[in-house]
Structure 1
């Protein structure tokens, strides 16, 4: 399959924005990638899964007491999702995108210092 160029916008409100053209908005960080239709579908799935987990309504409003373990689990899941997203963007990225991701340290394979290890 032939790869095409796409631009990925990780705006928290609409994280699943992937466009075949660069959006003329200087406030957006757009990651240029080259992907086959299958690779693009996999990336969109990761983006949607991560965004859905980040904004689950059941986690925003609850009539039950606050449960810190649920919040921590959500943080871990969201961070794991974002790590997968950035790994995928890096893998599909153009040389410029790869350089940017390395420069601003978006790939993070170290244990998260602000989160306790996940309990099994």
Structure 2
């Protein structure tokens, strides 16, 4: 399959948007990737799952946010999703994207970090 260029931003409001065109906004961090259809589908799935979980954990119409153990579990799950998204972006990223990610130190280099069980 042929790879094409796409731009991914991790803005919480539009996290699930992957664009073929770079958005002209200097305040928006966009990651340039090269992906074929299957890789793009995998990334879309990760983005949608992470976005859905983030929105679910922010549900203010419940009393779940008063339970610290549930909130900690939500943060843990969201962070694990973001780690997977960033790993995929790095994997598909152009050399410039990989450099940006490395310089920002946002990849999870500690495999045990997400293995820790949230407190109960």
**TM-score, normalised via structure 2 length:** 0.88
Cα separation, 2, equivalents of 1:19 and 1:100: 19
Cα separation, 2, equivalents of 1:98 and 1:34: 12
Cα separation, 1, equivalents of 2:62 and 2:26: 38
Cα separation, 1, equivalents of 2:118 and 2:63: 25
Extract unaligned runs of 5+ from structure 1: none
Cα separation, 2, equivalents of 1:86 and 1:74: 18
Query: Is 1:118 the equivalent of 2:103?
Result: no
Distance 1:9 1:58, change over 3 A: closer
After TM superposition, the runs of 4+ consecutive aligned structure 1 residues lying more than 3 A away are none
Q: CA RMSD in A?
A: 2.1
Displacement of 1:69: 1.1
Deviations 1:14-51 (A, max 9, x none): 10111011111111100000000110011011001001
**TM-score, normalised via structure 1 length:** 0.88
Query: Is 1:27 the equivalent of 2:55?
Result: no
Deviations 1:43-62 (A, max 9, x none): 01100100110111674321
Aligned length: 117
- After TM superposition, list the pairs within 5 Å mapping 1:40-55 onto structure 2: 40-55=40-55
Q: In the alignment, which residue of structure 1 is the partner of 2:96? A: 96
Displacement of 1:12: 0.9
Q: In the alignment, which residue of structure 1 is the partner of 2:77? A: 77
Distance 1:118 1:106, change over 3 A: same
Extract unaligned runs of 5+ from structure 2: none
Distance 1:90 1:63, change over 3 A: closer
